Chain A
Amino acid sequence: MKPDRLAILAGVRTPFVKSGDVFKDLPAYELARLVMREVIDRTGLEPGAVDEVILGNVAQPAEAANIARVSALLAGLPIETPAVTVHRNCASGMESVTTAFERLRAGRGKLMLVGGTENMSRIPLFYPRSFTEKLAALQKARTLGARLGVLSAFRPRDFSPQIGLLLGLTDPVCGMGMGQTAEVLAKKFVLSRREQDEYALRSHQKAVQARERLAEEILPVITPDLSVTQDIGPRENQTLQALEKLRPIFDRKFGTVTAGNACPVTDGAAALLVSLEKDAKSFGVPPLGFLRAYAYSGCPPEQMGLGPVFSTARLLKETQVPMKDIELFEINEAFSCQVLACLRLFASPTLRKEYRMAGADLLREIDPLTLNLNGGAVALGHPVGSSGTRLILTLLMQMRRSQANMGLATLCVGGGQGAAMLLERT
């Protein structure tokens, strides 16, 4: 018997907007609320039909603990509907989909609302521990003398904040920031600055050309104060010259990774309605496509950018699907050099040798004409909790346009993991 596939009934996302821009006053739960309601309204299904809400989110804002629940209630889902937030770092927006897949296969419901949300503009700054401790001591101090004593112990450095965003983008195990892991790949695979900038330029050009196509998956966000109908990232007039002028940020001396050839820090949310293939008919909504199988895999944390290769190899091994059957690819563009490194590794058995990778023999070269047809995160942006969901949505919509039957959406994960989703149109 053919195993059940996950039917994606409908999907939508907000425009992706660079952090600090117009979405800075819309918390992540607000962005999630909008897409959740839209995806339900578009199908005409009753919110009560949703058995569970599963939402990926990385930064987990302190004021909205279990952000999936907060968003679900604000979106008008019934109070009986449970909600859970999942976190697999940059793959959180895929984790929500695969978690739903497993729960549905286990018989825990028929319809699930999944997705991811992130507002990186709103990740707070933290006080250092020394400040926290002294503040606690101050509250305990009873007499004026004791208070003055504690107050005099404060030093300027106690007030210098730690930046939450940077903490989140740093892998505590290998001690590297994400940008630094990209520099590792650039040097290891000898990827030139020019090569990376050209890749970035192409991403912008593709995204700009895809405006109308991308609009099909976007819910415009309109409030009294703002109106955003499309992604803010892609630049119509991006040139190589402009990219070349930027200075490397993670390695000033020998580095090649710049703000121009890496993905921008971004705000955005995406949501899908999913059910098992066998139940899909009962909802009366023709599916966008199906998730046939998926794989997560670990990889060296300091080369986390290679995650897509590791997870794809595992996926191919487990499904025994020949890679040549896959017609379209989405590889998340955390960094231009990281995608380029993956492409090298997909193409070269020699390079792969060094990594002990189950299923490595099944990998094949990826034709650039089948990759990221509508641009990628370098242009569109990468709201970490949402990108996974967006890749699935964007790829399914493109498979329909291209009449492609099989597609692969894959993404690298901070901390050294990869995620790969095998999608089918019919």
Chain B
Amino acid sequence: MADSRGFRIVEESWDNRQIVRLVFESPDRPVNVLTPEVMSALEEALSRFQRNLPSALILESALPDVFIAGADIHVIEKIRNEDEARKLSREGQDILIKLHSIPCPTFAAIDGATLGGGLEVAMFCDYRIVSDNPKARLGLPEVSLGIIPGFGGTQTLPRLVGFQAALDLILTGRQIDGRRAKKLGLADSCVPRGIFAGEVRSFVLKHPKKHFGPRHSPPMFLFREIGCSLAKRSVLKKTMGNYPAPLRAIEAVRRGISRPLSEGLKIEADLFAQLPQTRESRNLVRTYFQVEKFKKLTLPHLEEKQRWAKSHAMPRTCAVIGAGTMGAGIAYQLASAGLSVRLKDVEPKFIQRGLAAADKIVKGLLKKKRLSPEEARDILGRILPTLDAAPLRSAGVVIEAVIEDLPLKRKVFDDLEKAAPAGAILATNTSSIPIGKIAADRELSGRYVGLHFFNPVDKMPLVEVVVGENTSDETTAFAIEFAKKIRKTPIVVRDRPGFLVNRLLMPYLNEAALLLSEGAQTARIDRTARQFGMPMGPLMLLDVVGLDVAEKVAEVLEDAYGERMKPCSVIGRLRKEGRLGQKNGTGFYTHSGKSSDPDESLHAAGGPAAGMSWEEMIDRMILCMVNEAARALEEGIVADAETLDVGMLLGTGFPPFRGGLLKYADDRGIPVIVSRLYTFSEKYGMRFAPAPILADMARSGARFHPIA
């Protein structure tokens, strides 16, 4: 009898012992979630068990692959102030304390995802039995939403696995499988999935008593203080102080661990209460939902075609043409998603380099134990090189990733049209050449589409699906589904030079180079951007991308959009001097091994930007992106502000705690931005002249995003 409580109660007799099974299920949701209704039903049920005590209480799930996926994020989203937050946390803790202190032994039988609040529930049980189901992953991902565990997780986890391991799990939000959970002490037993039910039964029967008290004694004072201060330092280094949640989490663990549990819980609730209503948490929750939506992207007008593509058109074999950095990365990505890949290039030595690059990615994952040796072998085995076009006959999709040269690309596709089977999708990874030009005057132009990946392909989650003028709806629908299949997040963009991400990013990179040429120091420019929250400084990013590539993209953009995109002369100069960036060891930085040092000879000593304020520098870099974003949105490069924000988030690592580029613009206030841009245009040049649409918005009080 399923009901809206979120669980049903099954009473059974095992060897003459009265057992109560609390089976979580959710008829109207895909996963079990701890909504306020579920929590209060749980409280009510626990009161009933108090009065009529069973000899054991087992928490389990009726859903395959999910135990409890966490608390309800929508509830967290609605919290308005500290009091509400504290109340939510305290009430939840009180209910779980009831579970903890019920006089019969309690068991969590975990055969699926157990995250956040779900794990907190399990940790208040006396015992946890986990299956070796690979989907049975345990973790506390709260910090990634800008909050900390509020149902006791910061207190119970260190008491189960020790303080160091708990900090690691809470601060990274990392999810672990059953075997690892057993090793850490988070689970009491890890059993094979097939015999899970039987093993749970015999475990329950073998453990008739409660298991009170921590499994780990608190660390010594000195050890705790040193550990926490090291953790704090590493968090600050990584986040540049932009994310309050990890610091609160360390605080909660540090202060609670040596006190009685009840006091620890109070500390946790007080710290938790400071977070949900912060701008950071709001934005992190917002971007979380946005990204989840785009991971499953369905365009209303393509719904039917996407469904068909997903079920009928996904290929077994793909081909990647060109084994350079991008080609190799794409080949790896396809292979890791289980597709067979033919990697084609014209010379064995290019292919060897590409294979070595894929090899390096896989070896890295192997070392981190993210892959088993067999999985690693299979992924690499799926990439089969070829010098000849004949085996492309099996490829359902071909992705061209040769150098950015239109005649060469045209030639490649002339051959591909002959070699690939009828019906194959012809995709290009071009970053700057319009699909329209590649597909111009072709009978099959409807099958052409851009699949623009970002470097490094294995790490960057975004793919721009570039829809050319003649690209058919079927092809677009296929491309969206294909991107999802290879575990990338697609955004659909129009076929204009630079598409979305490069077009917006280039002015930012260019502005950084201009700052350098005006006297700001390399390290300072990059630190400014990182303090803003960018994952990497712009000059470092130019080095990583390669100055030759950057110059080419910049030229294409200047051609297309004119004066405002004029590349800073430093970039071209470095390229001419053969300083291509990381790939040959020298660019804005000198790279050797893992260390990179700014090349101080590039500093224009005494230039006007030498003492420029942080605000001035960051606004120059970020607001020119906002300005270009307004234009791109007006031109319909992407459908809406949300798509643009997700694209920049996943394509450039725009700081998620700021909620997205245009969300940031809304938060700063469009009129403020426009007036800054006017000032800049007078001071630094017309490239800052606000886009007419932006000026209009400032006048009319419009925003990019509707007010939530």
The answer to whether A and B assemble together is yes
Which of A43, A46, A229 has a CB less than 8 Å from the CB of B393? Answer: A43
Bound form: Cα–Cα A224–B359 in Å: 8
B393 pairs with A38, CB closer than 8 A: no
Does residue A293 face the partner (Cβ distance < 8 Å to B)?
no
Assembled-state Cα–Cα distance A46/B384 (Å): 16
Q: Are B342 and A74 in contact (CB under 8 A)?
A: no
- Do B342 and A223 touch across chains, with their CB atoms under 8 A apart? no
Q: Does any Cβ of A come within 8 Å of B390's Cβ?
A: yes
Neighbour of A41 across the interface among B348, B356, B391, CB < 8 A? B391
Cα separation A229 to B386 with both chains bound (whole Å): 11
Given A76-B382, A222-B355, A229-B348, A42-B390 contact (CB < 8 Å): yes
Q: Does B50 contact A (CB under 8 A)?
A: no
Question: Does B351 have its Cβ within 8 Å of any Cβ on chain A?
Answer: yes
Q: Does A328 contact B (CB under 8 A)?
A: no
The residue on B at minimum CB distance from A75 is B381
With A and B bound together, what is the CA distance between A46 and B381 in angstroms? 18
Per-residue 0/1 for A61-101: is the Cβ within 8 Å of any B Cβ (1 yes, 0 no)?
A: 00000000000001010000000000000000000000000
A227 at the interface (CB under 8 A from B): yes
Partner of A44, one of B349, B355, B394: B394
Asked whether, in the complex, the Cβ of B349 is within 8 Å of the Cβ of A227, the reply is yes
Contact B387 A220 (CB under 8 A): yes
Q: A220-B348, A224-B352 are in contact. Are A41 and B394 (CB under 8 A)?
A: yes
Q: Mark B381-424, 1 if CB is under 8 A from A, else 0.
A: 11011110011111000000000000000000000000001000
| Chain B stretch 336-376: residues in CB contact (< 8 A) with chain A | 340, 342, 348-349, 351-352, 355-356, 359
- In contact, A41 and B317 (Cβ under 8 angstroms): yes
- Whole-angstrom CA separation of A71 from B381 in the bound complex: 11
The answer, yes or no, to whether A339 is at the interface (CB within 8 Å) is: no
**B316 at the A/B interface (Cβ < 8 Å)?**
yes
Measured between alpha carbons, how far is A220 from B346 in the docked complex, in Å?
A: 12
Q: How far is the CA of A76 from the CA of B391 in the complex (A)?
A: 15
Q: Closest Cβ of chain B: how far from A342's Cβ, in Å? A: 36
Cα-based distance from A227 to B381 in the complex (angstroms): 16
CB proximity to B under 8 Å, residues A293-338: none
Residues of B within 8 A of A223 (CB): 352, 355
**Given the complex, which residues of B lie within 8 Å of A41, measured CB to CB?**
317, 340, 342, 384, 391-394
A204 lies within 8 A of chain B by Cβ: no
Task: Report the nearest B residue to A229, measured CB to CB.
Answer: B348
CB pair A224 B384 closer than 8 Å: no
The distance from the CB of B377 to the nearest CB of chain A, in whole angstroms, is: 8
**A33 within 8 Å of B (CB atoms):** yes
Q: Which residues of B contact A33 (CB under 8 A)?
A: 381
Q: Smallest distance from the beta carbon of B534 to chain A beta carbons, Å? A: 34
Across the interface, which residues of B come within 8 angstroms of A227, CB to CB?
Answer: 348-349, 351-352
Instruction: Tell me if A74 and B381 are in contact (CB < 8 A).
Output: yes
Residues of B contacting A399 in the complex (Cβ-Cβ under 8 angstroms): none
Sort chain A's interface into a size bin.
20 to 34
Known: A34-B384, A76-B382. A222 touches B351 (CB 8 A): yes
Cα A47 to Cα B355 in complex, Å, equals: 24
By a CB distance below 8 angstroms, the chain A residues around B348 are: 220, 222, 227, 229
A93 to B391, CA, bound (A): 23
Closest chain A residue to B391, Cβ basis: A41
Contact A222 B385 (CB under 8 A): yes
Report whether B355 and A46 are in contact in the complex, using a CB–CB cutoff of 8 Å: no
Cβ A46 vs Cβ B342 within 8 A: no
Q: How far is the CA of A43 from the CA of B395 in the complex (A)?
A: 11
Q: How far is the CA of A74 from the CA of B390 in the complex (A)?
A: 21
Shortest A26–chain B CB gap in Å is: 12
Which residue among A34, A47, A76 has the maximum number of chain B CB atoms within 10 Å of its CB? A76
Complex partner residue of B384 from A38, A45, A47, A225, CB under 8 angstroms: A38
B202-242 CB mask vs A (1 if < 8 Å, else 0) is: 00000000000000000000000000000000000000000
- Closest B residue, CB atoms, query A38: B391
Which of chain B's residues has its CB closest to A223's CB? B355
A208 near B: Cβ within 8 Å? no
Query: 0/1 per residue, A201-230, Cβ < 8 Å to B?
Result: 000000000000000000010111101010
CB distance from A137 to the nearest CB of B (A): 35
Q: Do B391 and A222 touch across chains, with their CB atoms under 8 A apart?
A: no
What are the residues of chain A within 8 A of B355 when measuring CB–CB?
Answer: 222-224
B552 vs chain A, min Cβ distance (A): 28
Across-interface contacts of B316 in A (CB, < 8 A): 46-47
A40 interface residue per 8 A CB criterion: yes
- The answer for the CA separation of A224 and B382 in the assembled complex, in Å, is 14
Tell me, in angstroms, the Cα distance from A44 to B387 when the chains sit together.
17
Assembled-state Cα–Cα distance A37/B391 (Å): 9
Cβ-closest chain B residue relative to A33: B381
A40 to B342, CA, bound (A): 12
What is the 8 Å Cβ interface bit string for chain A, positions 20-50, against chain B (1 contact, 0 not)? 0000000000000110011011111111000
Contact B393 A44 (CB under 8 A): yes
Given contacts A44-B394, A76-B340, A224-B359, contact A37 B384 (CB under 8 A): yes
Give the residues in chain A near B387, CB-CB below 8 Å: 220, 222, 229
Complex: how many Å from CA A220 to CA B382?
A: 16
Contact A224 B340 (CB under 8 A): no
The answer to whether B394 and A40 have CB atoms under 8 Å apart is yes
Q: A320 vs B359: C-alpha distance in the bound complex, in angstroms?
A: 56
Contacts of A42 in B (CB 8 A): 390-391, 393-394
Chain B residues contacting A229 (CB-CB under 8 Å) are: 348, 387
Task: Among B316, B342, B352, B384, find the residue whose CB has the most chain A CB atoms closer than 10 A.
Answer: B384
**Who on chain A is nearest to B355 by CB?**
A224
Quick one: which of B455-490 are within 8 Å of A by CB? none
CB distance from B302 to the nearest CB of A (A): 27
Distance between B347 CB and nearest chain A CB, rounded to angstroms: 9
State in angstroms the CA–CA spacing of A279 and B382 once bound together: 30
Chain A residues lying within 8 Å of B340, measured Cβ to Cβ, are: 37, 41, 76
B356: nearest chain-A partner, CB-CB: A224
- Closest chain A residue to B347, Cβ basis: A227
A41 to B: closest C-beta gap in Å: 4
What is the minimal beta-carbon distance from A1 to any residue of chain B, in angstroms? 34
**Residue with the greatest number of chain B CB neighbours at <10 A, chosen from A37, A40, A224:** A224
The interface residues of chain A lying within 8 Å CB-to-CB of B356 are: 224
Residue of chain A at shortest CB distance from B359? A224
Among B382, B392, B393, chain A packs the most CB atoms within 10 A around the CB of B393
* CA A228 to CA B351, docked complex, whole Å: 12
Nearest-CB residue, chain A, relative to B378: A74
Residues of B within 8 A of A46 (CB): 316
User: Complex Cα distance A220/B387, Å?
Assistant: 8
Closest to B392 in A: A41
In the complex, what residues of A have CB within 8 A of residue B393's CB? 41-44
Residue of B whose beta carbon sits closest to that of A37: B384
Complex Cα–Cα for A76 and B384 (A) = 12
The 6 A-B pairs of least Cβ separation, nearest first, read: A41-B391, A227-B348, A44-B393, A224-B356, A41-B394, A222-B385
What are 9 A-B contacts with C-beta separation under 8 Å? A34-B384, A37-B340, A38-B386, A41-B317, A41-B342, A41-B384, A42-B391, A74-B378, A76-B340
Given contacts A223-B355, A224-B355, A224-B359, 15 further A-B contacts (CB under 8 A): A37-B340, A37-B384, A41-B340, A41-B384, A42-B390, A42-B393, A74-B378, A74-B381, A220-B387, A222-B348, A222-B385, A224-B352, A224-B356, A227-B349, A227-B351
Q: Which residues of B contact A (CB under 8 A)?
A: 316-317, 340, 342, 348-349, 351-352, 355-356, 359, 378, 381-382, 384-387, 390-394, 421
